[in-house]
Amino acid sequence: MIQVNGVVTDNLPVTDRGLLYGDGVWETIGIQQGKPQLLEWHLERLQTGLAALGIQSLDWDTLREEIRAACAGEERAILKLIVTRGVGQRGYSPHTLLPPTRILQVTSWPEYPAAYTATGIRLTLCETRLAQQPRLAGFKHLNRLEQVLARAEFGSEVQEGLVRDYHGNIIEGTMSNLFIIRADGAVVTPELSQCGIAGIMRRYIAQTLEKFSIECHIQPLALVDVEQAQAIFMTNSLIGVWPVCEFSDKSYNIPSLIRDLQAEILVLP
Amino acid sequence: MIQVNGVVTDNLPVTDRGLLYGDGVWETIGIQQGKPQLLEWHLERLQTGLAALGIQSLDWDTLREEIRAACAGEERAILKLIVTRGVGQRGYSPHTLLPPTRILQVTSWPEYPAAYTATGIRLTLCETRLAQQPRLAGFKHLNRLEQVLARAEFGSEVQEGLVRDYHGNIIEGTMSNLFIIRADGAVVTPELSQCGIAGIMRRYIAQTLEKFSIECHIQPLALVDVEQAQAIFMTNSLIGVWPVCEFSDKSYNIPSLIRDLQAEILVLP
């Protein structure tokens, strides 16, 4: 089911700035038992993105009501939410305030093999780098060609690719965030002020670690930090927590902390 | 008039990767007396972009025929041509080869004030910087949020904004390319291997200069180079050549070379 501005349709005007310039933001939200998971955090990040792009704010009550209605009765599904600057005239100028376009799409849950969660995934290092652009870092906008290029580098022989910036900092996976457990037990996830998407599951994991009285360090990470880690795991709203069993010709164990985190996210608010 | 894959319609499926990820390329082509101007160069750049993104090649004969039909009878108009990777499934992976989506839109020519060409424009320096990403430099893809952010910085008090990269190199205007005429008479336009769009009019101007036996230097440019230039002009397929009369609180003259270039592009192949 897809709806655009409250109307059920599969189509969008060709003149929407979401297509013309990638001028918009989006969220991928898990639905369980009719409830969109971590919805407030998703809407918060959406709002951060709209503000960063100077897109007119939404009627949040209408959006919430549409989300509620779209999720109702869905046992286990995905809600994709896109908000663009709207249908525009020619040219980049965003000065004419347009009513934003809101798109809601509910699709079936992608059933990844259970082994990815149980015994871990193979991770590869991508050659594609992320450009440093602080103005577009952290939130989830529609300019995603770097992710497409990075994802093009690997097939089904591995499950995720790790992407660096041009300074060599490890940033994230093509569709997920990275955490490492260092040899000394510290948990670290990359700092994302220059590029990358600050995932909602990343935030939830950081909060869960805090609940476990484990500090989550957010700092720059080099390739050697990942290679020498005791354990590695990748997160996003749909995959939850995937341990990494293999990276850079090295095998990694799955410590109990990863199992505890997996257990903790089985039921999400 | 808009057509998508040969069918007249204003709409595109919401699941087109052009919207989801900005996964495509585009061209803005002038039409005069029914003829798309510099068409082969536009198609060449389009093809460069498709190859860089690994998008399946087009049926060029069909596209040419659609372009010919769309332009027929148009005295003076614009053809916007968008090609996306197509309608995709969930996820960034471009491995499933999809039939690309081709969108043709003919709109009226934007009638800029004649003074911009005659007496020049005011140019401002943007704070928004372009990220260095060689994988996406030179061609015209649909990830254009940097241009939107830069364009948001100025209103109608100036006509164009100059954008730098994060190293301080001057790259281009928000919608145009930059040329300077140095005090020693040399003509220079910025090198675009890290970011920026290599405009079709930029290429035509470079070729025209060659015809005039004037070398066009393509090299990195600093802000001071622009400020100390004898003259500045901006180019794109629709504006042609706009001299800059004011930049950084300084006035600039319009030498005869700029008039010669303007005369030369009145009729384009």
For position B267, what pLDDT does the model report? Answer: 87
pLDDT digits (tens, 9 = 90+) for B33-90: 999 999 999 999 999 999 999 999 899 999 999 999 999 999 999 999 999 999 987 8
Contacts B102 to A, Cβ<8 Å: none
Across the interface, whether the CB atoms of A144 and B20 are under 8 A apart is answered yes
**CA distance, residue A11 to nearest chain B CA (Å):** 4
The answer to whether the CB of A14 falls within 8 A of the CB of B12 is yes
A23 at interface of B, judged by CB pairs closer than 8 A: yes
pLDDT in tens, A148-162: 999 999 999 999 999
Mean model confidence pLDDT for chain A:
97
pLDDT at A90: 81
Residue of B nearest to A107 (CA): B90
Give B87-127 pLDDT, tens digit per residue. 987 899 999 889 999 999 999 999 899 999 999 999 999 99
Name chain B contacts of A17, Cβ cutoff 8 Å: 148
| Six token digits for residue A10 | 């599969």
For A175-227, the pLDDT digits (tens) are 999 999 999 999 999 999 999 999 999 999 999 999 999 999 999 999 999 99
3-state secondary structure labels for all residues of A125-149: EEEEEECCCHHHCECCECCCHHHHH
- Domain A114-264 top-level CATH class: alpha beta
Residue ranges per structural domain of chain A: 2-108, 114-264
- Does position A8 have pLDDT exceeding 90, yes or no? yes
In B, minimum Cα distance to A160 occurs at B93
- What are the pLDDT digits (tens) for A80-119? 999 999 998 789 999 988 999 999 999 999 989 999 999 9
**Which spans in A72-187 are helix H?**
114-118, 145-151
- Cβ separation A175–B148 shorter than 8 A: no
Convert B215-229 to b/e letters by CB count within 10 Å (16 or more is b). Answer: ebeeebbeeebbbeb
The answer for B 126-185 residues in CB contact with A (under 8 A) is 128-129, 131-133, 135-136, 141-152, 155, 166, 174-175
Residues 6+ apart with CB under 8 A from B199: B172, B176, B177, B235, B236, B237
Report residue A267's pLDDT band, with 50, 70 and 90 as the boundaries. Answer: confident
Q: Is B66 a catalytic residue?
A: no
CATH fold for domain A2-108: D-amino Acid Aminotransferase; Chain A, domain 1 (3.30.470)
Q: What integer pLDDT is reported at residue B111 of this predicted model?
A: 86
- Helix (H) / strand (E) element for B44: namely helix B39-53
- A residues 77-96 near B, CB within 8 Å? 78, 80, 82, 84-85, 90-95
pLDDT at B184 over 90: yes
